[in-house]
A and B are shown apart, each in its own frame.
Chain A
Amino acid sequence: MALKDYIRERFFPHMWCAGCGHGTVLNSLLRAVEQLGLSKNEIVMVSGIGCSARISGYVDFHSLHTLHGRALAFATGVKLSKPELNVIVPMGDGDALAIGGNHFLHAARRNIGMTAIVMNNKIYGMTGGQFSPLTGIGGMATTAPYASIDRSFDVVEIAKAAGATYVARSTAFHAQECTKMIHDAILHDGFSVVEIMTQCPTYYGRKNKLGEAPDMIKRFKDITTPIGSKAKQENPDLIERGVFVEKNLPEYCAEYDKIIERAKGGA
């Protein structure tokens, strides 16, 4: 199927600013779905509220655009009630780890079979550039006019600690890598998290004097490095990209099937 067949053309043009990194993620996602050869009827996209969350409306899958931070909770209901569906949850950094942080932890803890794609632009894009839990110390935002004193989360570390069984990170510069990770995350039987560092030139870029979109994208190349690279040893400040966790543990819906058997008097 051609990529455009996965798109709801009638709902374009999209609402993202020129140069927004979220579009790259959409592209990678569609390529991953295409490579997997999934039928559109088998996929449910569940998203919260934010610029990132709007992805769900543009794709021709079943789409559920929900409440800020609550996407994984809605998605849990979708998945557990119909486990044969592929549930993909595109999330903003605020969506996933501020207001929705608790749901993120618990979805990971349950190891329920769905894929969270955290589009980390280190800012609240939709509401106009307030700081997020990913902005970090020294970052500038409309609610941190004197620079942020809030420490930053690390999406990968949180996902790992909470029990996600597939955890990866890439950036909007590394589109092919993103596609591969999303592909593998969807295939993975358990809770998978793919963090993709994206650029918000409109707010994060402007507030933090990082230039235009192309400058920000290029910067992703400069500030990241593959996991365990020599560059990382020499420069510990580099952010690692790659697959951090990939392991098989009992998936929640499959475990619940065993509960049904037990309750019915079997096993």
Chain B
Amino acid sequence: MSRQVKFVQGNEACMEGALYAGVQFYAGYPITPSSEITEGMAMRLPAAGGKFIQMEDEISSICAIVGASLTGHKVMTATSGPGFSLMQEGLGYAIMAEIPCVIVNVMRGGPSTGLPTHGSQGDVMQARWGVHGDHSIVALTASSHQDVFEMTVEAFNIAETYRTPVILLLDETVGHMREKLEIPEPGELPLVERLRTNVREGVNYHPYLPREDGRLPMSDFGGVHRFNVTGLYHDMWGFPTSDPKMVHDLIRHLIDKIENRVNVLARYKEYYLDDAERVMVSYGCSARSALHVVKDRRQRGERLGLLELQTLWPFPADVVKHCCAGKKSVIVVEMNTGQIVHEVKKAVDSPDNVFLANRVDGEYITPPDILKILRLIQGKGV
């Protein structure tokens, strides 16, 4: 097969992945460092028969994609920290009403306007808990353009399969870096299309009655089934309720449909883990430096390994526990003051052996940065 090869930014890889997945509607508001996705969509989507709209802000952007998803389309928006903050209410709505959609957050330094043109991984916990109220969420990430492409496709597949918003947490470093991308041939990567109800016209269709396998077939707005969609707790018809049993069943359903599938949703890469004495756990741009250190140390005979997480939420605790079992130390590499490191500590057998290697000054964490911390952990001095 002849794959199309491009030399692109990570943001373009994300856009290409979305087009490959079949995105049909995109609404967004410009913000550094995600604007290339929005600009790319404005350029490419209409030619692909889709629709692009620049909304008045990020609040309306996420609302618009939810509306477009309900008419039966694959939808996406992209933003960065300040915009992601504005999207939280709409994100919660999409969780509650079970609307498939993909939200890309190309992370920059925060809080507030922070560092618009510098990388960071500070929004990991916001992705998990930014929405008010109990809930669960799926968040994916990637460290190379090929993976950005594939994780974007995955994001759409998961969103459609589980009727849920999926967050794609990229970062400025990967988003703006240029490297090679090979676009897979059509059919190379599996695509999940929306599950639609086969209930016939005139027969009662329940938009919020899960099938035995937990999935909820949808019916497009404009189709033969008319139903209510709301952000309030609702019954199987989608009509508001405060009946304690229904409320309980719904919150359990929303959380369980994700948390019961932690292992199914886990995407990760293992590097030299089998005989590793020490393991690094990392993701996104940080994982690139971590991998560099691992390869470099291997050449000097040091048994170092890397677990690169691509699913951040639901946190793949079993995978982490398994990969870190019996290791002398676990070094979590991330560009924040410590977010995933706490999850790793919770997951492993020996939390005291878990260390943080980080950088929070807006500069990219380099292999020498990680090496210094590694030497300290090993008692070798800087």
Contact = CB atoms under 8 A, between A and B. Distances in A.
A198 to B, nearest CB: 22
Contacts of A41: 222-224, 226
Contacts of B56: 102-103, 105-106
A85 B72 CA distance: 13
Nearest to A78: B67
A70 B231 contact: no
B227 A70 contact: no
A120 interface: no
Contacts of A256: 46, 51, 53
Interface string B223-263: 11011111110000001100000000000000000000000
A114 to B, nearest CB: 11
Given A61-B226, A64-B70, A256-B51, A76 B221 contact: no
A36 interface: no
A84 B222 contact: yes
A56 B227 CA distance: 10
B230 A65 contact: yes
Given A62-B227, A74-B67, A84-B222, A57 B240 contact: yes
B222 A57 contact: no
Interface string A222-265: 00000000000000000000000000000000001001101111
Given A44-B221, A73-B64, A260 B227 contact: no
Contacts of A63: 226-229
B93 A67 contact: yes
Contacts of B227: 62-63
A127 interface: no
A73 B46 CA distance: 20
B155 interface: no
B363 interface: no
Interface string A96-113: 000000110110000000
Contact of B25 (A64, A74, A77): A77
A106 B60 contact: yes
Contacts of B230: 57, 65-66
B63 interface: yes
Given A57-B239, A80-B51, A102-B57, A74 B224 contact: no
A165 B5 CA distance: 48
A63 B70 CA distance: 10
B71 A81 contact: yes
B226 A40 contact: yes
Interface in B85-100: 89-90, 93
B144 interface: no
Contacts, number: 137
Nearest to B45: A263
B47 interface: yes
A196 interface: no
A60 interface: yes
Interface in B59-94: 59-61, 63-73, 75, 89-90, 93
Given A41-B223, A62-B221, A70 B59 contact: yes
A102 B63 CA distance: 14
Nearest to B221: A62
Nearest to B67: A77
A264 B226 contact: no
B25 A259 contact: no
Contacts of A11: 239
Chain A's interface size range is 35 or more
A223 B122 CA distance: 56
Contacts of B67: 46, 64, 73-79, 81
A42 interface: yes
Contacts of B70: 62, 64, 77-78
Contact of A85 (B73, B90, B222, B240): B222
A60 B237 CA distance: 12
A151 interface: no
B341 interface: no
A82 interface: yes
B53 A80 contact: yes
Given A260-B49, A263-B47, A81 B226 contact: no
A158 to B, nearest CB: 15
B88 to A, nearest CB: 11
Contacts of B55: 73, 76, 106
Interface in A38-57: 40-42, 44, 46, 56-57
B240 A62 contact: no
Contacts of B27: 76-77
A103 B70 CA distance: 20
A74 B64 contact: yes
Nearest to A110: B53
Nearest to B55: A73
B71 A76 contact: no
A70 B65 CA distance: 12
B24 interface: yes
Greatest chain B CB density within 10 A among A63, A74, A260 is at A74
A73 B47 contact: no
13 contacts: A57-B240, A60-B226, A65-B232, A67-B63, A73-B61, A74-B63, A74-B64, A76-B67, A81-B68, A82-B220, A84-B222, A256-B51, A260-B46
Given A77-B67, A256-B53, 19 more contacts: A42-B222, A57-B240, A62-B222, A63-B229, A66-B231, A70-B90, A76-B55, A77-B63, A77-B65, A77-B70, A77-B75, A78-B67, A80-B64, A80-B68, A81-B25, A82-B221, A85-B221, A85-B222, A259-B46
What are the 10 closest A-B residue pairs judged by CB atoms, nearest first? A77-B67, A77-B64, A73-B60, A73-B63, A81-B68, A263-B46, A77-B68, A78-B67, A263-B47, A65-B230
Interface of A: 8, 11, 40-42, 44, 46, 56-57, 60-67, 70, 72-82, 84-85, 102-103, 105-106, 256, 259-260, 262-265
